[in-house]
Structure 1
Amino acid sequence: MATTTGRDAVELMRVLQFGDSTLPVGAFSFSNGVESAIQTGIVRDLESLKGFVLAAAWQSAQLDGVALLAAHRAALRHDLEGVIEADNALMLRRVGDEQRLMSTRMGKKLAQLGSGLFDDELLVGWLAAIADGRTPGSFPVAHGLMFAAHALPEEDAFAVHQYGVTQMMLGAALRLMRVDHLQTQKILFDISAGVHDLYVQVRDVELDEMTGFAPVFDVLVAHHVGAHVRMFMN
């Protein structure tokens, strides 16, 4: 009879904890474009919601995912400058102040949470670089650092980040439109089935090749800034 080793069980618990949707990093404050998509009619029913979240997951993989993997690999080499390079490269490609605010606010909170849970010199160094203005402190890079600190696989870090993006948007949709928990869980289940394929697409992409062309999202970011009524910061 096959058994799970103690180390495997601990790794699984770490992945579950770092991927928990209730992690106190402020994700509930953001909708990642869902609010404006509903206000403008781009998202109007379950089918359009699923398509919108799927597109966001694709863009996240092409941008955030590439930076996350680069940061994770740099962290395993104990290369703080490599982590900072990935962080800055991502922010140069993120359009819109609200998108940057979302990523950096959640990234800093995740890093601060990690520093309170365990000792890691690289994580402390990255937080100091954020305080000094040397690096923005993005959420995907924080994920890469958290997972590398415990020698957790890069694909797990990638999957947890993708899960977080999808879950954030579906959680916002529950508060903004007529959908229920079962329907959003079905969307999450279907989208999650493609996470390995997304990882395979981006795992060999270099930082200077990172791109996620999705003009609709950029327009919605601009729309949200000028919205008169809104529930979310993004």
Structure 2
Amino acid sequence: MRVLQFGDSLLPVGAFSFSNGLETAVEIGVVHDVETLRAFVRAAVEQAATSDGVAVLATHRAVSVGDITGVDRADRAVFDRKLNEEMRTMTVRMGRKLAEMAARVLGPSTPSDWLDRIKAGATPGCLPIGQALVFAALGLSERDAFAVHQYGLATMMINASLRLMKIHYLDAQAVLFEVDADAEEAYWRVAKLGLDDMAAFAPGFDVLASLHVRAHVRMFMN
């Protein structure tokens, strides 16, 4: 049940405010139907697996052995790999909200300690790190934490698509179902990687993000 709670797309951490680049992709026509939406979301989730997803696993393992330095190193690794301001804003804003929620719900714990370090400016506070810390504090597996991270990104984009496109809500759910099917293989592909192996090559996303920064009219914060 706790996997369901913390993996819920309605978790109050602000995901509704972000589209992960989908808004500009729709505006300029890169995404215009179900097929292009599927390809765009799948590409985003694949990139997340080999970058932020690696940090999720590294953080879960670090906190499990009491390595707080390792947690902060993973946090910085995520932040440093966000190439534009809006992506950095997205991950730290949602990360801090998750930490605040966990501190209220779980009480004194590793997520609340992490929140203290965020407030002190000692660590950025990126969302994937918070997800790993919460799941470790609940005694849940790194595999669950990875799955929630991947699912959260996919649902953020699918929910955004319903506000941005003329798409049937059942078609949107079919896209989510298909993209989610990749998570198992993605976990095993990155399970042996470390922070130095974090990598993502998606220049199209970076270009779309840079265009969104300068947009005069927009629905989402990124």
Normalised to the residue count of structure 2, the TM-score between the two structures is 0.98
| 1:207 aligned residue | 195
Give the CA RMSD over aligned residues. Answer: 0.8
Mark the runs of 5 or more structure 2 residues left unpaired by the alignment.
Answer: none
Give 1:219 deviation, angstroms. Answer: 0.5
Q: How does 1:66-77 map onto structure 2 within 5 Å?
A: 66-77=54-65
Q: Determine if the alignment matches structure 1 residue 38 to structure 2 residue 26.
A: yes
Q: Could you tell me which residue of structure 1 aligns to residue 216 of structure 2?
A: 228
Partner in structure 1 of residue 75 of structure 2: 87
1:119, CA displacement in angstroms? 2.8
- Structure 2 match to 1:57: 45
Structure whose alpha-carbon radius of gyration is higher: 1
Write the letter of the residue equivalent to 1:160: V
Q: Retained in 1: the 8 A contact 2:102–2:112?
A: no
Letter in 2 for 1:211: A
Q: What is the identity percentage for the equivalent residue pairs of Structure 1 and Structure 2?
A: 52
> Deviations 1:171-204 (Å, cap 9, x if unpaired)?
0010011112100110011111110101111111
Mapped partners of 1:193, 1:227: distance in 2: 34
The DSSP-based 3-state class of the residue aligned with 2:25 is: helix
Kept in 2, the 8 Å contact 1:78–1:122? The answer is no
From the superposition, tell whether residues 71 and 120 of structure 1 become closer, same or farther in structure 2 (CA, over 3 Å). Answer: farther
The answer as to whether partners of 1:87 and 1:135 remain within 8 angstroms in 2 is yes
Aligned equivalent of 2:10, options 8, 22, 27:
22
If the length of structure 1 is used for normalisation, what is the TM-score? 0.93
CA shift, 1:120, in A, is: 4.0
- Residue by residue over 1:101-156, the C-alpha shift from the partner in whole angstroms, topping out at 9 and shown as x without a partner, is 00000000001101111134322221111111111100000000000001101111
Gaps of 5+ in 1: 1-12
- Residues in 2 aligned to 1:118 and 1:50: alpha-carbon distance in whole angstroms: 36
